Structure 1
């Protein structure tokens, strides 16, 4: 990796033009950022959400994760059991709004749990309506290039737009960038997977022109591929196909004659793991991914019943990222917390989702059956730095634990908790680290989180 200037900080004397001064500044408009901004604004705070793209959704939309994962309990026989909801609060609030727009499918069986595919275009519109409707402002097409702080007290950020650079001042910053960009720009400690080894990115696409009845008659109800598909892939590979992932996941969508394809496994051309925080790796990932999408689409057309007349209908506008930087927090989610389904009085989000570790040709899965663990409030609060809280997959978690707690339903919950914490820190004149997780849990329960 080439050398870059990563630490870009200014103090309060920064003389760049001031774009705005707000109570709560939300950095990043993915699921966590959307929930945080709506929650903060709904509680009467002047709130600004800054997003690098021209729409909300983050990895859920731009990276086409495409499903609300982590909302339902795991079970032994999802083909024979009804889905049982485990996560409520802001997750359920968004889910209900999407249902009103017919923008989600019914829960679909995935291994030993359920998930809900959604319409990405409606995701953008529903999220924007909720954020703006709560009174927050959104600033699209804006990159965050630096932070403003006095010693360890954050005061704002520096942005770059088509019109040039400016500053935004705020009382509280919520880092929902997914990559811990605020911590990184400040030069504070972070971790990166398992000693630098992180989960593979992916590129998800939609396959149109499918006879979905014929397809699922062959495939079965479980959206994880049956063994006969892996065997067919091996045959295609023997004839020259490039299909590095042999266990793949396919869902039907809200659109007719279409499948949602989570099938790719993206590594470098020489086989090395790609770290999308490295711009060279990030570029290579995009190039490799598009070619791999074409290979998988051709495989389905040639080998899988129902796909004979299929075509690539759409693919994600950027590579889907599962993992980059994680903060060093005042508390941490450990691998053991997940394995033992740990409950805690300061837990602010439930997680019933399995450890879903994407590395190698077959993802590693560890299921939680009729159970869940809880994420502590302290995992959102950095060990160093005042007026800053994170929300999203950049929270403090060990490698395998993050492979569980990074998904959409939980990210909505982190944003909900961070938005409430920001509100109370301002109104009660307290540091974020001095707020008790038990107190944030109580506030969440008052907003239908159903944690108790």
Structure 2
């Protein structure tokens, strides 16, 4: 077989004019043939509807990659891309519905934001009066507790998951259920046949591979697969996105001394409003919160940390008898787009710089932290905000704030909203139903999206981005994918009655 070589234009101006000409000619021929190009519709001053094609760069150096065979690594009924709370829930739900399931993740463990970021509170909002979701999310939490992998969260009945131990919990869930695991595998493209997804291309130590699947569930958090498949999505402008977080964990903390300090200096959710204009319902203001903020101002005044340090302050959670303080959610970086590799590189490195400043401030100011030292950083940044698909139904602020009900409900989530300077704690028993339509990209068949990138506006995103909400959409997507295979229909046409019946069988609260 004749070898093909990569062709790179090394001319002085670095432009491949022939390639650019061919691209323009192909688009022109398509228009003559009646092929509609991607639309770009502004939805709000802060967001746009986009597709992958909207962002293709026409200028600059390019490399033309020649066609080459890609080995098929595996075939399955349902492929779940991303092994976080939504991905684990989707894979387990699809497997329990009878599908052959592959769960893949780009890291060396499952658990997503829990294990790779170190965000240990899957549901920290359970103050008195909360009517919580039911299903695999609660099941995972209870299993972790039964295996000795949780510590009580301060001030209410929520649990803190031990982030490292949850890797073991996730492995147990995957292996005992018969899910086929695939780690260290990074999805880089979608395999499409007209408007239907057929699988994905991945990169791994074994090279470039393909996985073919009857259904694909995008649980990447950033809607990566939907993006590769050409689905429409929205993205808030970078300067208005919620910040990313570098989670830090400390050792050498005197637990009793620190707890005594927090009891003598109690913080509430009203304190969250000290540095920004926060919207609440009022009932949150006097609830106790594990929060540190003024301590960092004091550290600046003392000269313990540089004056120019910004966005230090936030919550603490688990304290172990061994002197470990984990999930210190204290370092926040703004103006970061995590779908931009340059942005996220800078943020990862800057987050570690600010994390060391945060520890230095705690050592200087907070009793119990005098001898504290860095135990570890999270494996990656905690991201709150990136792409969100345009769905068959797009959740709204009114719906998540006013107990919306949907005929295609796949579960419920309490009236808990956290983000964009809004904080609503679900202490009144209010909750809303989550519609199947927010998982469905209308222009791509047999692809479902679960997790924080489901369809909705900015305020609804502040509810759906939370980990327990991600388990609700994950379980709904997993069941819908498997049921659609049984019915011999695509994911657009699956019977919602059959999906709901299976979800109820799996213990999900539908209404």
User: Normalised by the shorter chain, which TM-score bucket?
Assistant: 0.7 to 0.9
Task: Write the distance in 2 (CA, Å) between the matches of 1:230 and 1:93.
Answer: 34
Are 1:43 and 2:97 matched, yes or no? yes
Seen in structure 2, the aligned counterparts of structure 1 residues 255 and 316 have a Cα distance that, compared at 3 Å, is farther
Task: Write the distance in 2 (CA, Å) between the matches of 1:223 and 1:14.
Answer: 59
Contact 2:117/2:380, CA 8 A, preserved across alignment: yes
Paired residue for 1:216?
Answer: 259
Are 1:97 and 2:151 matched, yes or no? no
Paired residue for 1:305?
Answer: 367
Residue number among 195, 210, 234 corresponding to 1:152 in the alignment: 195
Deviations 1:417-450 (A, max 9, x none): 1111111000011221223545433322221123
Paired residue for 2:154?
Answer: 108
Contact 2:292/2:316, CA 8 A, preserved across alignment: no
Ranked by relative contact order (alpha carbons within 8 Å, sequence separation 6 or more), the top structure is 1
> Is the partner of 1:61 in helix, strand or coil?
helix
- Residue 198 (structure 1) shift: 1.7
Paired residue for 2:405?
Answer: 343
Seen in structure 2, the aligned counterparts of structure 1 residues 397 and 114 have a Cα distance that, compared at 3 Å, is farther
Deviations 1:330-365 (A, max 9, x none): 01111111222323342223222532116xxxx542
Q: So what's the TM-score if we normalise by structure 1?
A: 0.87
Paired residue for 1:252?
Answer: 318
Residue number among 300, 313, 323 corresponding to 1:237 in the alignment: 300
Paired residue for 2:209?
Answer: 166
Deviations 1:199-219 (A, max 9, x none): 110011112211122212221
Deviations 1:354-399 (A, max 9, x none): 32116xxxx5423333222222111011121111101111111211
In the TM superposition, 1:8-407 aligns within 5 A as 15-69=69-123, 73-75=126-128, 86-109=132-155, 115-193=158-236, 197-220=240-263, 230-238=293-301, 239=303, 240-245=306-311, 247-254=313-320, 256-260=322-326, 261-267=328-334, 273-352=335-414, 354-357=416-419, 363-370=421-428, 371-407=430-466
Structure 2: gaps (5+ residues):
1-54, 59-66, 275-290
Considering only CA atoms, is the larger Rg found in Structure 1 or Structure 2? 2
Contact 1:36/1:419, CA 8 A, preserved across alignment: yes
Contact 1:212/1:252, CA 8 A, preserved across alignment: no
Seen in structure 2, the aligned counterparts of structure 1 residues 422 and 253 have a Cα distance that, compared at 3 Å, is farther
Residue number among 436, 443, 450 corresponding to 2:502 in the alignment: 443
Q: So what's the TM-score if we normalise by structure 2?
A: 0.77
Contact 1:243/1:296, CA 8 A, preserved across alignment: no
CA RMSD of aligned residues (A): 2.6
> Is the partner of 1:301 in helix, strand or coil?
helix
Single out whichever of 385-394 and 99-108 deviates more from structure 2.
99-108
Seen in structure 2, the aligned counterparts of structure 1 residues 146 and 410 have a Cα distance that, compared at 3 Å, is same
